[in-house]
Amino acid sequence: MFDLQPIKTRFGIIGNFPALNRAIEKAIQVAPTDISVLVVGESGTGKEFVPKIIHSESRRKHKNYIVVNCGAIPEGTIDSELFGHEKGAFTGATSTRKGYFEVADGGTIFLDEVGELPLQTQVRLLRVLESGEFMKVGSSQVQKTDVRIVAATNVNVMKAIRDGRFREDLYYRLNTVQIDMPPLRERKADIHLLFRKFAVDFAEKYRMPEIYLSADGVQYLENYSFPGNIRQLRNLVEQVTVVEQNREINAKKLEEYIPMNAMLPAVVQKNISGISSSEFHSEREIMYKILFDMRNDINDLKSLTSELIKNRQTEELSHQEKKLINRIYQPENVNPNSLLYFEQNQVQNPTIISNPNEDFGDVEEIEAEESKPLSLQNHEKELIIKALEKYKGRRNKAADELGISQRTLYRKIKEYGLED
């Protein structure tokens, strides 16, 4: 058993959740070796602390430690960034440049968001892992490097392999040891500790009195899903510290910053088919938000239509009401024993043939299929626009808010024509 407190104090790690302690223990155990490590966890869970611990406890601690965000480097230049290039190798290569693997020789490289690497770069990385060899872009000369590689990802790598976006052989080379970082919503007892730590830090930074939580405020945060994990909590505490005059923060005040409906996507992640929430990649989180918004809209329409029919059981419906009913209840989806019977498969004069209080069934069974793709795209585009407006065009902040990588956000911005 390791004494983890010195390591936690040194790196500012807060909490005693068993899965967190296990992750730190594994990092300390593998540090003296040179085996590659894959750190898995959702965005914002603190994956960056693991490679720091590994490097600081290894024989390489006096050599270079380099962090590379694979999702933030454009696909056209990432090979040059990692492996260097020769003068004249491409337009703009006015001089020979060393890459990260050459600069970090003898040290450690942390490849964050490794799941975003292009396939061509994955081949080059695999060669480095297998033989320690690489070639600069535009060169035919093989160079050697002695680098310890620690990688991290928040995507479902096995799904990426099935989709052809990640090489299986590279995955098994990187994943000699896997370290899992738990999401914040599973570390309920640690949430208040982290809040207090951030509150002290920001009170000192901005020279303001420290904020603190009321009893119902603590309960509210413990019940919140935190899709952005520790990063989201830190941003929340900073915002509240600066904006609020009252230093006691209760549940009502917290709801202004993180409303209850923001919990839904992460709750679904945790419960569907018993799949771990860490297995859901970033774009799926956006889809859950969209689908829950759509479900609420459809339920509202369904309730409105039901009320109209109950109040006007024998009267002929107006043209607009018929149109609304036809939109929600497609003829092929109506059960013969349900509330409405459509003569000749059209909504003309619906006749009440059973209990007016009868439920219309699950919303998924009556949803109009043809409207789904357009609605999803519109909701996704709207979420991206709102995130960009909220952070005044700062794409890194918007990507964190949406729970996706910067590269995915750039692709979506281009796809929806939002560059301007």
Structural domains of the chain, with CATH? 5-180 (3.40.50.300), 199-264 (1.10.8.60), 289-367 (no CATH)
Mean pLDDT of the chain: 81
> Band of the pLDDT at 132, cuts 50, 70, 90?
very high
> Band of the pLDDT at 335, cuts 50, 70, 90?
very low
Check residue 78 and give its pLDDT: 95
Contact 213, 251 (CB under 8 A): no
If residue 179 lies in a helix (H) or strand (E), which one and from where to where?
A: strand 177-180
Question: 331 versus 129: which is more confidently predicted?
Answer: 129
Q: Where are the beta strands (DSSP E) in 10-64?
A: 37-40
Check residue 19 and give its pLDDT: 96
Q: What is the mean pLDDT of residues 224-252?
A: 95
Cβ neighbours for 302, distance < 8 A, ≥ 6 positions apart: 328, 360, 363, 366
Residue 177 class from Cβ within 10 Å (0-12 exposed, 13-18 middle, 19+ buried)? middle
The pLDDT tens digits for 358-414 are: 444 444 433 444 444 445 667 788 888 888 888 888 888 888 888 788 878 888 888
Q: Hey, CA dihedral for 115, 118, 121, 127, is it positive or negative?
A: positive
SS3 254: helix
SS3 14: coil
> Band of the pLDDT at 288, cuts 50, 70, 90?
low
Question: 355 versus 206: which is more confidently predicted?
Answer: 206
Q: What is the mean pLDDT of residues 154-179?
A: 94
Backbone angles phi, psi at 50, to 5 degrees: -65, -50
State yes or no: pLDDT of 235 exceeds 70. Answer: yes
State yes or no: pLDDT of 121 exceeds 70. Answer: yes
Q: Which residues of 192-225 are buried (b: 16+ CB within 10 A; e: fewer)?
A: bebbbbbbebbbeeeeeeebebeeebbebbeebb
Q: If you average pLDDT over each of 56-70, 289-303, 397-411, which comes out highest?
A: 56-70
- Tokens matching residue 372: 């789904």
User: How far is Cα 196 from Cα 199, in angstroms, rounded to an integer?
Assistant: 5
Question: 383 versus 123: which is more confidently predicted?
Answer: 123
SS3 1: coil
Q: How many CA atoms lie within 13 A of 341 on its CB side?
A: 8
CA-CA distances (angstroms) from residue 97 to 94, 128, 140, 154, 260? Answer: 9, 18, 15, 31, 51
